[in-house]
Amino acid sequence: MAESRRAALRRVAGLAGLSLPVVDLLGGARVRASEGLDLEILGAALALEHHALAIYEHGLERGLFPPGLRDYAVEFRGDHLGHRDTQVALMEERGGRAPEAKRDYGLGRFDTAERLLKEALTIEVVAQDAYLRLIGNIRTDDYQLAAAFILVDEVRHATVWKRATGARIY
Amino acid sequence: MAASPRTQSRRAALRAAAALPLLAAVPAAAEEYADATAVLAAIDRLEAEVAARLRTVAAASPAAAALSASLLGDQAAFRAERSRLRRRLGLAPAPDAFAAPEGIDADLPALRAALDRLVYAHAEGLPAVDDPHAVQRLAAHMVECARHLTVIDLWLEAERG
C-alpha cells in the first residue's frame, strides 16, 4: 500500500468523525476504562463498519469486483452488516445512540477494480488495527467477546484482499 | 471445576447477549474460561496440536515447508510472550512441553479445524483475562492465528478449484 497504516488510520478516523477519547486511544494514549468509553468505542467501531459497508456497496453496485473475488465481497459485506447490527444492538441496549452512516464517503475516485481492492484492503486493515488497539480497553465482557469475533472476521477480509492485491500473506 | 463469580457473571452477560437477535458475532456455544490460567493452558494445548499438524503436513508436502516454518516461527514468538504475560499476571510458568495428539495424518482440513479451535480459544478467553495489556497482546496473537487460518482456508479453496 502506498499509504502507510498510520496515515490510513488518520484519514479514516477523520472521515468517520471519531470522538476525541477514541482518537487518543488509537494514538496509543492510556484512557481509563468505563461504561462511557465502551460507548465511545462502540460508536467508533460502528463508524468504521458504515464506511466498510459503503465501499462494498459501491463496488458491488458498479460491478467493480472481479468475477473471482465478487463472492468474497458479498461474504464480507454480509459480515459487516452483522457487525453493524450487533453493535447497534449493544449500543442501544446500553442506552447509547448509534451513529448513522454518512451520506458521502468520497468513493467516486475508486472507479477501477485495482483502486477499489486497494481501498477495501485499507479499510479492513484500519478496522483490524482499530479493534486491536481498542479491545483491551473494553470493560464489558459481552462486548469484548463480540469485538474479538469481529476482529477475526476483519483479519480474514484483510488477508484475502492482501493476496488479491499481490501482498505477502505469510 | 466450579464456576467462579466471574464465570457466572460472564455467563449472565453471554445469556443477555444471546437474547439479542442480531448478536451474530458470538457463537452460540462459546467456551467458558474461569481465569487467565485456564485460558493460557487451553491456548498452549491447542497450539501444540496445530504445531504437530503443521509439521506433519510439511513433511508430506515439501511445498508447504516455507509456510510451516513461518507459522511455527510465529508460534514460538507467541509462546515466549505468553511466558512474559504469565509472569506479569503472577501465574505459574507453563509446562515445558505439551503432548500433541498421537497418530496425526497430513490432513489439511484437520489442520484447519485445529487452527479454528486455537483462534476461538483466544477470542473466548479474552474476557477471562482481566488485564488490559494481556488482553491486547493475546488479541494480537489471535490476529496472527486468524491470518494463519485464512491462509489455510485459501489453500483449501485452491485445492478444491
Q: Are A30 and A37 within 8 A, CB to CB?
A: no
Average pLDDT over every residue of B50-78 = 95
Tens of pLDDT, residue by residue over A9-27, are: 778 777 777 777 777 777 7
pLDDT of A10 reads: 76
pLDDT at B24: 55
B117 or A40: which leads in pLDDT: B117
Q: Is the pLDDT of residue B15 over 80?
A: no
d(CA B6, CA B11): 9
The percent of residues above 70 in pLDDT, for chain B, comes to 81
Q: Which of A93, A150, A155 sits opposite B25 (nearest CB)?
A: A150
Indicate whether B26 pLDDT > 70: no
Contact B94, B76 (CB under 8 A): no
| Out of A135, A136, A155, closest to residue B147 by CB | A155
Of all residues in chain A, the one with the smallest CA distance to B142 is A152
Task: Decide which of 3.40.50.150, 2.30.30.60, 1.20.1260.10, 3.40.605.10 is the CATH code for A5-164.
Answer: 1.20.1260.10
pLDDT in the model for residue A142: 87
Kindly give, in sequence order, each residue whose CB lies less than 8 Å from that of residue B84, ignoring residues fewer than 6 positions away.
Answer: none
pLDDT tens figures, A51-109: 999 999 999 999 999 999 999 999 999 999 999 999 999 888 888 899 999 999 999 99
- Residues from chain B that touch A93, judged by Cβ atoms under 8 A, are 16, 20
pLDDT band at A35 (very low <50, low <70, confident <90, very high): confident
pLDDT tens digits, A131-158: 998 899 888 888 899 999 999 999 999 9
Chain A residues with CB under 8 Å of a chain B CB are: 33, 82-83, 85-86, 88-90, 93, 128, 132-133, 135-137, 140-142, 144-146, 148-153, 155-156, 159-160, 163, 169-170
Contact, A138 vs A87, CB < 8 A? no
Share of chain A above pLDDT 70, in %: 99
Q: Which of B152, B77, B145 is nearest to B107 (CA)?
A: B152
Chain B from 67 to 96: CB within 8 A of any A CB = 67, 70-71
Q: Rounded CA gap, B135 and B73, in Å?
A: 22
Rounded Cα–Cα distance for residues A39 and A34 (Å): 9
State the alpha helices, DSSP H only, in chain A. 5-16, 20-26, 35-61, 67-93, 113-134, 141-164
Residue A70's pLDDT is: 97
pLDDT of residue A119: 94
User: Where does residue A38 rank: exposed (0-12), middle (13-18), buried (19+ CB within 10 A)?
Assistant: buried
pLDDT at B3 exceeding the cut of 70:
no
Decide: helix, strand or coil at residue A112: coil
B137 near B39, Cβ under 8 Å?
Answer: no
CATH architecture of B33-160: Up-down Bundle (1.20)
pLDDT over 80 (residue B29):
no
